[in-house]
Amino acid sequence: MRRDLRLADNPALSHACARHAQVIPVYILDDPGAAPWSPGAASRSWLYRSLQSLQADLRQRHSQLILRQGNSREQLQQLLHSSGATAVYWNRCYEPALRERDAAIEQWLQSTSITCKTFNASLWWEPWEISTTQQQPYRVFTPMWKHMLNHWRDPQLDGLPEPFPALLDAPASVPLDELKLLPQQRSEPRWDEAFYQSDGSDSSGAHWQPGETGAWHAFERFFEQALQQYQHDRDIPALTGTSKLSPHLQFGEISSAQIIRQLCPDGQPPTDKMINSFIRELAWREFSWHLLYHFPDLPEQPLQPQFANFPWRIDYQSDLARWQQGKTGIPIIDAGMRQLWQHGWMHNRVRMLVASLLTKNLLIPWQHGARWFWETLVDADLGNNSQGWQWTAGCGVDAAPFFRIFNPVTQGRRFDPKGDYVRRFVPELARLTDQQIHAPWAVDKTTLRQSGVVLGENYPQPLVDLQGSRQRALEAWQQMRSA
């Protein structure tokens, strides 16, 4: 068990259960094997809860999740020796470091005459299954999406193994707490304390419920409450207009195949506009993994080579810290960064805004933003995170052009017109009017004081002049182009 923490539609598990009287489910936490992109703090908090849920699901079927920590090959070698197992099955991962590690383990297992077979459990189209007419990887999303629609693939699902083979003689397992997945320092966010619940009773979607059951509760809530307004509501951060399935997909608690089969039960491309719009977002996720597979430097290097010479600032540490802490003095930016710190998640529209401010108005290299998101997002996956940051920074394939610089005031007034999102996460501005709340520096001091706001005391002055910094960014871009 790896990025597939579910029992239904788990092809490696189904294959094992269909062919063997005894099946040992194993999860190995191998941080060095995933370096330099081992899970961040928010992901580890989610992983703890997801493993708890999987343990409970397996106990109900008289089985057990064996937990191990350390080098994957060494742990597998110990398990094979102690159990006498004759086969190892797993579902594929696509990150560069994991692919290299897994290939070496597969070669080793084959050399020892152990049966080894791998499967796809997370993607609709694996990266090597789809290419342009010139047999090249896609570098632009829209043609890839059109290909998916024109060559529609009805996902085939593996059901829940029945009967599930009981585990009669379990190998040694370390306690879950010994993996030290939860925050260890007081300074780290405590996502595990306030925003998790386990029984599915929260119909509002305000809390997370990691695990396979939680994933289906989230899907059902989205299907019943938000899908029919998806195209509009998905851009409004104050609404629960998105599916919030991203962390469940990242940990494999639900698969894109399961979602597509639920939304397109006739096996045909969607004709409903809202369903089409949502599946298109699943396809964007596929595009990100497609790019990561074919361009393994995606997390670190710009895909447009000229951006390697972009004149980023070098004196940005204090500005980066204020951005991370939600203290930029620009309300919708601060709201987004505080939502990220408190919930381990940020609305997608706001992700673009905070990324645009960091890379363009502040001229801070996009890799710093990507690394912070990796540490603080419960849905951080290497494909989406890297592709998203390169897209906003203007340096990736199919990226937004660099000169598209979001104005956070304009965006706030358009997508948070009543200021509800800002008031929730920046309560010190709550008494300002809907129009004032997105640009408090433009409000006279008397009005601000009457609303309980003193800039520079209980809310920061703006970190940067939006118009002046926009011009500076365009000049930097022109400098790069003429170099």
Same domain, 288 and 408: no
- Of 101, 122, 143, the position where a domain reaches its end is 122
Largest separation between any pair of C-alpha atoms in the chain: 80
Question: If pLDDT is split at 50, 70 and 90, which confidence band does 191 have?
Answer: low
Q: Do 332 and 473 share a domain, yes or no?
A: yes
Average of per-residue pLDDT across 301-309: 95
Say yes or no: 312 and 369 in one domain.
yes
pLDDT tops 90 at residue 189 = no
Average pLDDT value for residue range 131-150: 96
Query: 350 with 336: CB under 8 angstroms?
Result: yes
pLDDT at position 32, please? 94
Of 21-30, 159-168, 230-239, 255-264, the one with minimum mean pLDDT is 159-168
pLDDT band at 398 (very low <50, low <70, confident <90, very high): confident
Q: Tell me: do 290 and 373 sit in the same domain.
A: no
> Is residue 369 included in any domain, yes or no?
yes
**Residue 192 pLDDT exceeds 60:** no
For 292-303, what is the mean pLDDT? 97
Q: Does 195 reside within a domain?
A: no
In a domain, 200, yes or no: no
Q: What mean pLDDT do residues 63-85 have? A: 97
Q: Could you give the number of structural domains in the chain?
A: 3
Nearest CA-CA partner of 313 in 351, 358, 355, 354: 358
Q: How many Å apart are CA 196 and CA 209, to the nearest integer? A: 6
Confidence category of residue 140, pLDDT binned at 50, 70, 90: very high
Tell me the average pLDDT across 14-23.
95
Read off the pLDDT band of 399 (50, 70, 90): confident
pLDDT at residue 17, rounded to an integer: 96
User: What local confidence, expressed as pLDDT, does residue 197 receive?
Assistant: 63
Which stretch of 145-159, 163-177, 198-212, 365-379 has the lowest confidence by average pLDDT?
198-212
User: Do 376 and 460 belong together in one domain?
Assistant: yes
**Is residue 178 a part of any domain in this protein?**
no
Dihedral, CA atoms, 306, 307, 313, 316, nearest 10 degrees? -160
Query: Is position 187 within any domain?
Result: no
Q: What is the pLDDT of residues 3-18, one digit of tens each?
A: 999 999 999 999 999 9
On whether both 384 and 325 belong to a single domain, the answer is yes
Please check whether residues 260 and 326 belong to one and the same domain.
no
Q: Do residues 331 and 392 both lie within one domain?
A: yes
Q: Is pLDDT above 90 for 90? A: yes
Could you give the CA distance from residue 473 to residue 455 in angstroms, rounded to a whole number? 26
Where in the sequence is the domain holding 34, given as residue range(s)? 1-122
The proportion of the chain whose per-residue pLDDT surpasses 90, expressed as a percent, equals 91
Mean predicted confidence (pLDDT) in 109-128: 96
Residue 320 falls within a domain, yes or no? yes
Taking 60 as the threshold, does the pLDDT of residue 321 lie above it?
yes
Q: Does the pLDDT at position 474 exceed 60?
A: yes
Q: How many angstroms from the chain centroid is the CA of residue 160?
A: 26
Q: Which of 249, 274, 294 is the last residue of a domain?
A: 294
Residue 276: its pLDDT value, please?
Answer: 97
The Cα–Cα gap between 20 and 87 comes to 9
68 falls within a domain: yes
The pLDDT tens digits for 448-472 are 999 999 999 999 999 999 999 999 9
pLDDT value for 186: 56
Mean predicted confidence (pLDDT) in 308-325: 96
One domain for residues 367 and 465: yes
Last residue of a domain, one of 122, 145, 180: 122
Q: How many CB atoms lie within 10 A of CB 334?
A: 26
In a domain, 198, yes or no: no
- Are 242 and 265 in the same domain? yes
CATH code, 49: 3.40.50.620
Q: What is the CA radius of gyration of the chain?
A: 24
Rounded mean pLDDT, 82-99: 97
Q: Among positive and negative, which fits the CA dihedral 425, 246, 283, 277?
A: negative
Q: What distance lies between CA 221 and its chain's CA centroid?
A: 20
Calculate the dihedral angle through the C-alpha atoms of 174, 176, 178, 179, rounding to the nearest 10 degrees.
Answer: 100
Query: Which DSSP string do the residues of 207-237 spell out, in sequence order?
Result: SB--SHHHHHHHHHHHHHHTGGGHHHHTT-T
pLDDT digits (tens, 9 = 90+) for 330-354: 999 999 999 999 999 999 999 999 9
Residues 149, 251 within the same domain: yes
pLDDT of residue 483: 78
- Kindly report the average pLDDT of the chain as a whole number: 94
Share of the chain above pLDDT 70, in %: 96
CATH number of 138's domain: 1.25.40.80
pLDDT score, position 207: 81
Can you give the pTM of this predicted structure? 0.95
pLDDT at 206 over 80: no
Question: Same domain, yes or no, for 290 and 145?
Answer: yes
What CATH number should be reported for the domain holding residue 382?
1.10.579.10
